[in-house]
Amino acid sequence: MTAPTTNPATEDSATAPDEEELLAHFDALIADGETIEPRDWMPDGYRRMLVRQIAQHAHSEIIGMQPEGAWLTRAPSLHRKSVLLAKVQDEAGHGLYLYSAAETLGVDRADLLDALHHGRQRASATFNHPALTWADTGAIAWLTDGAAVINQAPLCRTSYGPYARAMRRVCQEEAFHVRQGYDLMRALCEGTSEQREMAQDAVNRWWLPAVALMFGPPDTEAGGADARTAALGAAVSRRAMAWGIKRHTNDELRQRFVDTCVPQAERLGLTLPDPAIRWNEERGHYDFTPVDWDTYRRALGDDTHWARQRIAHRLAAHEDGAWVREAAVAYAARTDEPAGAAA
Amino acid sequence: MSAAREGAPASWEVFLRARRGLAHQHVGSVRAAGPDAALAAARDLYTRRGEPLSLWVVRSDALHTASPDERDPYFAGARHKPYRYPEHYAPLTEKGPEGEHHA
């Protein structure tokens, strides 16, 4: 190999700022609470963590349409049907806001969907549980959307600009989801004894998926993880918090959720299915059964019938819709020609 | 914005004027085969609430942008030019609304 007459490496370092300088600038922006924007330099790890989190979030929104969407044709009144339609449409919208945010990081949404369809990326396992009765649509909205609001409110201030802006739209709409879910549950609780039983049964089945899965695995010892698991979870959370992607540990947000739900359940006259729930004067919080690693795994319901069903349904919808996408491409190509030439 | 995948619908940036008196603001992006489909997708996605007045869609690859890397030579107009701001000058009244006058 012949030696180059000029050394390109030397030339580059004279013009381009080196990585250390770029990293220092990035860290300074994060420290000042400024947002990172799409064309800013960012560490690879930051970009990877964001793509992973935003994609998982987007996938959860569109998979989350399924348990409730299944009740659209069976809503008990036109009013409840209109509300549920609006809610399920919002979930699709949330997925699209988030895929749009992910694409600013240089990935393609078609690749993200492909990864979901083929198991390389996942949606939240919360939605691998079936919605067995009408009351489930209320319990899902009140509990899992309620959990989402607590999880997502801090994400409105996450360090990556497009993600934060998408989350502000999402959060505004989630507030409607939770309120209508609570209203649905209240209507059942003020109804016949069968309706009250149906509401209680739905809460019994949706409490664990909400409290365990919507906040991620335990990441503190106080939250119920053994020392090793807590250390692992804490390392991931610490990294995400140092980069300003996350603002709180999973267990902190989980506690906030329990504190919010207990008085709401009391007002409905429903019992949350956890005998350990008790006000702790000393801590100023409600105690509850810690979500340890076993509880978390049990709630995951990995590789169950419903987990496979959700992906199969999503894939079928995607494939059944192929002709629409093809027709849209053909139409767009056709309108390039002078309009009304044949008329 | 990543390069378009073979056969994948193009990416379009969406600008929304949410209320009278506001300029159009960038709100996100959609994927669509053509401009009409992009506008319909943008309407479905970004105008489900409020009383939006106007929507624009622009193909993402048609945007010509300045890079943040060029910040200093490119956007050097505002920094180190305090004389472009009113606070640089003596207040019009004894103790003007701008506070002390900048030396």
What type of residue sits at position A244?
G
A30: left (phi over 0), alpha (psi -120 to 50) or beta: alpha
* Chain B residues with at least one Cβ partner in A under 8 Å: 1-2, 5, 7-9, 11, 27-37, 44-45, 48-49, 65, 67-69
Chain A residue nearest residue B35, CA to CA: A332
Evaluate if residue A342 carries a pLDDT over 80: no
Contacts of A331 in chain B (CB under 8 A): 33-34, 37
ipTM (interface predicted TM): 0.82
Question: Which of B39, B48, B63 to substitute to test the interface with A, most A CBs within 10 Å?
Answer: B48
Partner-chain contact A328 B9, CB within 8 Å: yes
Of A40, A90, A97, the CB nearest to B68: A40
Measuring CA to CA, which residue among A255, A243, A308 is closest to residue A280? A255
Evaluate if residue A329 carries a pLDDT over 50: yes
pLDDT of residue B95: 67
Measured between alpha carbons, how far is B18 from B54 in angstroms, rounded to an integer?
7
CA distance B39 to chain A (A): 13
**pLDDT single digits (tens) A38-77:** 989 999 999 999 999 999 999 999 999 999 999 999 999 9
| Spatial contact of A161 and A244, defined as CB atoms under 8 Å apart | no
State the average pLDDT over residues B84-97: 80
Partner-chain contact A103 B11, CB within 8 Å: yes
- Rounded to 10 deg, the angle between the A161-189 and A193-208 helix axes is 150
Distance (Å) of CA A115 to CA A45, A55, A59, A110, A111: 19, 10, 10, 9, 6
Partner-chain contact B49 A328, CB within 8 Å: no
pTM reported for the whole predicted model? 0.87
For residue A131, give both structure tokens. Answer: 């919605």
Measured between alpha carbons, how far is A252 from A297 in angstroms, rounded to an integer?
19
Residue found by looking up tokens 């701008």 in the block: B98
Chain B residue nearest residue A25, CA to CA: B69
Evaluate if residue A140 carries a pLDDT over 90: yes
Measured between alpha carbons, how far is B45 from A18 in angstroms, rounded to an integer?
41
Residues 6+ apart with CB under 8 A from A164: A35, A155, A156, A157, A158
Residues 6+ apart with CB under 8 A from A243: A30, A46, A49, A159
Q: For residue B27, give the H/E element and its range.
A: strand B25-32
Measured between alpha carbons, how far is A181 from A204 in angstroms, rounded to an integer?
16
**pLDDT single digits (tens) A219-253:** 887 766 677 777 777 788 888 999 999 989 999 99
Partner-chain contact A93 B48, CB within 8 Å: yes
pLDDT of residue A9: 42
Contacts of B49 in chain A (CB under 8 A): 172-173
SS3 at position B34: coil
Measuring CA to CA, which residue among A278, A256, A254, A255 is closest to residue A266? A278
Residues 6+ apart with CB under 8 A from A284: none
For residue A101, give both structure tokens. Answer: 């945010």
CA distance B71 to chain A (A): 11
Partner-chain contact B2 A103, CB within 8 Å: yes
State the average pLDDT over residues A205-211: 93
Please give the mean pLDDT across all residues of chain A. Answer: 89
| Spatial contact of A109 and A189, defined as CB atoms under 8 Å apart | no
**pLDDT single digits (tens) A255-267:** 999 999 999 999 9
Partner-chain contact B8 A110, CB within 8 Å: yes
Measured between alpha carbons, how far is B59 from A325 in angstroms, rounded to an integer?
18
